[in-house]
């Protein structure tokens, strides 16, 4: 059905997540969706331009070519005790803390985050406060490999601090962390979700989505294909 364009990219990803045992009921196995764009700075988003899309054939940790060297070096490090299998990434593209990180403004995730942080909010600089800044951090840091959650494609409320939580202020700029800062091309949370979902269903993503699926759900998860793709996780 997906190949014949009878179901959307969104529906296909949800079905794959379900078949892989991922579920909204388990933060440790939460549905995982890809970062699909790399342009979070333009005034307008041109979905006919392939340059605005992330390379879906590469794990998020090496979408920025500069990170590939560090990632390969980590893999080639020999554990002197021979206990730990080799890996490219010591963290994971989907985990409970990452889900709470994105959904911190919405209950019950706010309370779960506070419990995780010993009864208070984590420091403001580590909060999810800006989509452009989150993408930039991924590009600069091969140790941050968080992919997205499905909410980025249908749930504008998670981008707003509707409950008025005091999330602190950033150390350097002194900016108060409130609603999530959106890309310039999005005029509101609803506009962001609308354009982001449109991007997910675009011709470019439809033609390349299978490359990301190979990494997360397919044959590049482990074995020689995973090593070659720089896609081995601890």
Residue 234 lies in a domain: no
Amino acid 54: pLDDT:
97
Q: What CATH number has the domain bearing residue 155?
A: 1.10.1540.10
Q: Please compute the mean of the pLDDT values over residues 140-144 and round it to a whole number.
A: 88
Q: Please compute the mean of the pLDDT values over residues 69-94 and round it to a whole number.
A: 88
pLDDT tens-digit map of 95-112: 999 999 999 999 999 999
Residue 150 lies in a domain: yes
Residue 91 lies in a domain: yes
Asked if residue 160 lies in contact with residue 76, where contact means CB atoms within 8 angstroms, the answer is no
Amino acid 176: pLDDT:
94
pLDDT tens-digit map of 159-210: 999 999 999 999 999 999 999 999 999 999 999 999 999 999 999 999 999 9
Which pair of tokens denotes residue 24? 């909204």
Instruction: Establish how many alpha carbons lie within 13 A of residue 122's alpha carbon, considering only the half-sphere containing its beta carbon.
Output: 18
Amino acid 84: pLDDT:
85
Residue 195 lies in a domain: yes
Least confidently predicted of 68-82, 119-133, 182-196, 202-216: 68-82
**Whole-angstrom Cα distance, residue 34 to residue 40?**
15
Asked if residue 61 lies in contact with residue 203, where contact means CB atoms within 8 angstroms, the answer is no
Amino acid 88: pLDDT:
93
Residue range(s) defining the domain that contains residue 224: 2-229
**Residue 116: C-alpha distances to residues 36, 42, 130, 197 (Å):** 29, 36, 22, 31
Residue 69 lies in a domain: yes
Amino acid 17: pLDDT:
98
Choose among 137, 131, 155, 143: nearest CA to 10.
Answer: 155
Asked if residue 20 lies in contact with residue 217, where contact means CB atoms within 8 angstroms, the answer is yes
Residue 78 clears pLDDT 80, i.e. is over it: no
Amino acid 105: pLDDT:
97
Q: What is the pTM of this model?
A: 0.94
How many structural domains is the chain composed of?
Answer: 1
Amino acid 118: pLDDT:
92
Choose among 191, 158, 164: nearest CA to 177.
Answer: 164
Residue 120 lies in a domain: yes
The percentage of the chain sitting over the pLDDT mark of 90, rounded to a whole number, equals 91
* Structure-token match 């609603």, residue found: 179
């Amino acid at each position: 059905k997906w190949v014949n364009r009878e179901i959307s990219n969104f529906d296909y990803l949800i079905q794959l997540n379900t078949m892989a045992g991922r579920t909204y009921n388990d933060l440790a196995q939460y549905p995982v969706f890809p970062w699909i764009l790399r342009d979070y700075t333009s005034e307008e988003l041109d979905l006919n331009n392939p340059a605005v899309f992330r390379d879906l054939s590469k794990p998020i940790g090496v979408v920025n070519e500069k990170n590939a060297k560090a990632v390969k070096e980590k893999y080639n490090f020999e554990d002197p005790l021979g206990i730990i299998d080799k890996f490219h990434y010591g963290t994971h593209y989907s985990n409970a803390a990452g889900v709470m990180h994105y959904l911190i403004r919405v209950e019950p995730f706010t309370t779960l985050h506070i419990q995780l942080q010993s009864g208070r909010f984590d420091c403001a600089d580590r909060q999810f406060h800006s989509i452009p800044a989150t993408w930039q951090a991924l590009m600069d840091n091969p140790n941050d490999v968080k992919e997205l959650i499905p909410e980025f494609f249908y749930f504008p409320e998670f981008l707003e601090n509707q409950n008025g939580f005091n999330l602190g202020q950033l150390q350097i700029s002194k900016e108060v962390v409130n609603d999530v800062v959106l890309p310039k091309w999005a005029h509101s949370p609803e506009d962001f979700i609308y354009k982001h979902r449109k991007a997910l269903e675009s011709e470019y993503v439809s033609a390349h989505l299978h490359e990301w699926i190979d990494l997360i759900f397919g044959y590049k998860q482990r074995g020689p294909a995973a090593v070659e793709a720089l896609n081995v996780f601890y």
